[in-house]
Chains A and B, each alone.
Chain A
Amino acid sequence: MAVRTQQAKKKTKKEFIPNIVVFACNWCSYAGADNAGTNRMQHSPHFRVIRTMCSGRVTPGFVLKAFKLGADGVLVSGCHFGDCHYIFGNYKAVEQFEKTKGLVKTLGLDLKRVRLEWVSAAEGVRWANLIDEFVGQIAELGPSPLNHKPKYG
């Protein structure tokens, strides 16, 4: 674990500190993140979690708003198939994410900047690994070209 933390630190320090927004569903992924925290697993701190009731709630608008407000990468995380608290919410998340990817691509952003993952409440280790990996990936890509504050509100 120590090695992983160092790697994450090294990568982010060398380049820039990415802004990463994570949408995590209440029932699995958020609990998974909690699990990583309560088990004191070291992982990169460069992400902000927004809790949604289900990954199926995350429409393209959420992800695009994150990019508009200066995110460099967006991760959407939900329960594994069959585990969704609302039964088919994560299938809906897949549908929405397909649209999101289409829009992100048309906007000219690298598709590596968005990601859809499944993390269960028990998978604290997987969460920590995933975050480190995603932060590293975004650090390599550099700042988002859309990271631009409009002059007007």
Chain B
Amino acid sequence: MNTAVEQLKKNRAFLCLECGKCTAVCPISKVNNAYSPRRLLAQGLFYGAEDIASDHLLWSCLTCLLCSQRCPVDVKYSDYMRDVRAVAHNMGHEGNASHGGALHYIMEMAASPKLKQNRTEWVTKDLKVKQKGDTLYFAGCLPYYEELFAKDFSFSPVSIAVDTVKILNHIGIEPVVLDNERCCGHDLYWLGRLGQFDELAKLNLKDFEQAGVKKVITSCPECAVALRQLYPERVGTGGPKVQHIAEVLAENKARLKLGEVTREVAFQDPCRLGRFMGVYDPPREVLSMIPGVTVSEMAHNRKGAICCGTTNWMNCDSCSKQIQKSRFDEARAAGAGTLVTACPKCQIHFRCAQCGEPEEKNGLELADFVNIVASALKS
């Protein structure tokens, strides 16, 4: 009971005025009128978290922070979701995992002490990486995505890792790449499996220390937010400095030698990069440095950007698809031919939404931020 009260103090849920602003802005509520953050909050507060634990809509929240931005009393709704999910998880409720839960099982197994992965096949001879040093490139789940999605969505997730290392080499950084890098645990955290998250966080920090790492660069905003904000919150400060590749490049603009690439792009702000870490300008600055690239803005952008439709590999449904398609419409309306994201997961979700759609209706190319930058590099 006391811990529940403590949690409510932290996530400020008990301050809710029931004004309904959250439901008004929530992208899920817009397409699924059964889902209402205000209702989940009011019901959870009134009857206790146990009462909403079996509600499958509990897992629909994207923890995207859009509602918290509008909330007049600063209720941390995403944190509230995490706490309720922790209760639900302990009661044995799991929600509907996408992809048969394959990715969640991988995350859980990532904490095995005897784990010895085979994950660095993407490191080709032309890439300069090392085993020990102060700057680490954290590739995240990309090698797993490659196996699971490359064929269906005809794109290569590990190309993001390859291009990131290429760009880092270009600006004179030879990053460490760990052979047995473990999952960052981001999704487990938001699913309320905090014990598992802590276990992974400790293992990762130990690995970083062993490799002598002072700074971590990621190409995935979720890894970045986990390492930068969630690790200090859960297992203590003192870890390495963490940056997303877009921030690194914005700081090293002078060292980037870029050739011409003709593209009209729109930038999809990933929620973790934007609203969580406040990184809005760096990717836009770097993209508009490339000669021939024009960056246009979608109707919902920056702080008001709408998520790609699913997070944590949960509850992917027709609502997610509707959100994804509305993003395509916005990008097309902005005159963009390429929708650029800085998060591998956004791209996977968008690619999935494009599947089965006639080509001319799509008319939008998808690319990761690093792919575009790497294609412009002058050797």
Residues of A within 8 A of B (CB): 59-62, 64-65, 67-68, 98-99, 102-103, 105-108, 145-146, 148, 150-153
Contact = CB atoms under 8 A, between A and B. Distances in A.
A114 to B, nearest CB: 13
Contact of B100 (A62, A67, A105, A106): A62
Nearest to B119: A106
Nearest to A57: B100
Contacts of A107: 106, 109, 115, 117-118
B378 interface: no
A105 B118 contact: yes
Given A103-B106, A105-B147, A148-B114, 10 more contacts: A61-B99, A61-B105, A64-B105, A98-B151, A103-B148, A146-B115, A148-B109, A150-B196, A150-B199, A152-B194
Given A67-B109, A108-B117, A153-B195, A60 B90 contact: no
A153 B58 CA distance: 19
Nearest to B121: A106
Given A61-B100, A106-B144, A67 B199 contact: no
Nearest to A143: B114
9 contacts: A60-B102, A61-B100, A61-B102, A64-B106, A67-B109, A99-B148, A106-B119, A146-B114, A146-B115
Nearest to B114: A145
A65 B101 contact: yes
A67 B89 contact: no
Contacts of B106: 64, 103, 107
Interface of B: 89-90, 97, 99-102, 105-106, 108-109, 111-119, 143-144, 146-148, 151, 180, 193-196, 199
B147 A146 contact: no
A103 B111 contact: no
A151 B202 CA distance: 14
8 pairs of A and B residues whose beta carbons are closest in the complex: A61-B100, A152-B195, A102-B147, A145-B114, A64-B105, A61-B102, A59-B100, A148-B112
Nearest to B110: A107
A103 B116 contact: no
Nearest to A66: B105
Given A61-B100, A62-B100, A103-B148, A68 B193 contact: no
Given A108-B117, A151-B195, A60 B112 contact: no
Contacts of B99: 59-61
B89 A108 contact: no
Contact of A60 (B108, B119, B148, B195): B148
A151 B119 CA distance: 25
Contacts of B90: 153
Contacts of A64: 101-102, 105-106, 109
Given A65-B105, A67-B105, A150 B147 contact: no
A102 B143 CA distance: 9
A103 B142 CA distance: 11
Given A60-B148, A99-B148, A103-B147, A146 B109 contact: yes
A106 B145 CA distance: 10
Contact of A150 (B100, B108, B148, B151): B108
Nearest to A96: B100
A60 B119 CA distance: 18
Nearest to A102: B147
A116 to B, nearest CB: 16
A25 to B, nearest CB: 17
A65 B105 CA distance: 6
Nearest to A101: B147
A145 B116 contact: yes
